[in-house]
Structures are given as structure tokens and as C-alpha cells.
Amino acid sequence: MDAEDWDRRYAAEELVWSAGPNRFVAEELAGLTPGRALDLAAGEGRNALWLAEQGWRVDAVDWSAVGLDKARRAAAARGVELTAVQADVTAYHPEPGAYDLALVSYLQLPAPQLRTVLRAALTAVRSGGVLFLIAHDLRNLTEGSGGPQDPEVLTTPEAVTAVWSGGARIERAETVRRDVNPQAGHGGEAGRPALDTLVRAVRT
């Protein structure tokens, strides 16, 4: 899907995703001291908004103008601020060492493009800052439920750590289970969890 496809999808519904943050984002990042955060492929801003509510100064980057506009309006309604940046994350060059946190949430790209984004995230984070990725796992095709069915856009903990381990200390890298709600319109089979790649690292 390109930016226009995402614009149409975001324009068709009030919210494509839930208003609240991803479960793993909230669980893994809730205890961090707020600073400056970079949300790459922020979409409608569900995670960026939650981070802003925790006190983070957030740059939300996405190529969908419609998604970012929804994020801006939600921020105003919730009384928080975020900076919306319309850009293709595969060609985006964030300021090196400017961030305390870089987040990549369900950015499903072919491996070469995903590596480009992961390297940009690594460069963007200062020493001691946190890198966090959650994405549909390759094993989800055969062992999980819902999610993209193209193996080319699925990833693994090993693929992510291969990029980040050169400049960061890996704190957690595993395939995790996530309950799915088919009624939410995101696919999946009731009673059968989805499998996600989760990687958390600290920049050295």
C-alpha cells in the first residue's frame, strides 16, 4: 500500500486502529523517564498520543496526511502536543542522537526497506536511549492468526537484532503472543493468538 491507499483507508473510518496504545508498547515503555520520542510510521497516532500523555515530546512520522491529521485532532482533543511529520519513513533522516526513544510499531515492509528504517532509528537515538519494535512475526503465517499473509513483509527477532546489535544492547528479543479480536475488523481467528516480533534495545 502507498500513501494514497493509506489516506483512503484512514478516511473511510473514524479509527482504523484502537484509540489506546498497543499493549506491548504500554507494557514495555510505561516505566521510562519521558524525554524526546520518535514514532516511525505513526499512522493515526495511537502510540504517539499515549507517549505524549506520559510526558514525552513526540515526533510522529508517517506518509499519510489523513492519518496525521487524525493524530493532530486527537492530540488537541486530549490536551497533549505532538509534532506530526509527513514523510516516507524509508527515506526519512531523523536528527542523529536527538531522541531518547525510537518506536517502530507494525511497520510491515520487505526486509531491505525495514533494515533501512531500523538503521535510521538506531542513528536517531542517543547513547542510553531505548529502541523498541513490535511487528507481525514470520511464524504468524503458520502458527498464529490474522495479520499480513505475505511472508516478504513479516520479520523475526533475529532479523531485527542483526541490525540493532551493532550499536545497541539487546534487552529483549522474542516472539510474543497477542490475543486478537476478529470483530474489530483486523482479521484473525477467535481463540487463536497472533504472533509478534518484539525487540527492545538500549543504544550503546
DSSP string for residues in 139-192: THHHHS-SS---GGG-B-HHHHHHHHTTTEEEEEEEEEEE---GGGTS--BTTB
Instruction: Give me the amino acid identity at 8.
Output: R
- The residue among 67, 187, 90, 102 whose CA lies nearest residue 136 is 187
Instruction: Convert the pLDDT of each residue in 117-150 to its tens digit.
Output: 999 999 999 999 999 999 999 999 999 999 999 9
Domains of the chain, first to last: 3-203 (3.40.50.150)
Whole-angstrom distance, CA of residue 139 vs CA of residue 133: 16
Whole-angstrom distance, CA of residue 198 vs CA of residue 158: 10
pLDDT of residue 23: 94
Asked if residue 56 has pLDDT above 50, the reply is yes
Q: Where are the beta strands (DSSP E) in 7-94?
A: 36-40, 57-62, 83-86
How does the average pLDDT of the chain come out, rounded? 90
* Cell numbers standing for residue 37: 520520542
DSSP structure class, residue 155: B
Q: What's the CA dihedral at 166, 92, 8, 20 to 10 degrees?
A: 50
Whole-angstrom distance, CA of residue 171 vs CA of residue 168: 9
Q: Is the dihedral of CA 124, 4, 107, 62 positive or negative?
A: positive
Cα 92 to the center of its chain, rounded Å:
15
Rounded average pLDDT over 23-42: 97
pLDDT of residue 20: 83
Rounded average pLDDT over 50-57: 98
DSSP structure class, residue 34: P
Asked if residue 5 has pLDDT above 80, the reply is no
Number of residues written out for the chain: 204
Given a contact cutoff of 8 angstroms between Cβ atoms, the answer to whether 70 and 12 are in contact is no
Is residue 17 very low, low, confident or very high in pLDDT (cuts 50, 70, 90)? Answer: very low
Q: Give the strands of the sheet with 194-203, arranged side by side.
A: 83-86, 57-62, 36-40, 99-105, 125-136, 194-203, 168-178
pLDDT of residue 183: 45
Instruction: Convert the pLDDT of each residue in 89-107 to its tens digit.
Output: 999 999 999 999 999 999 9
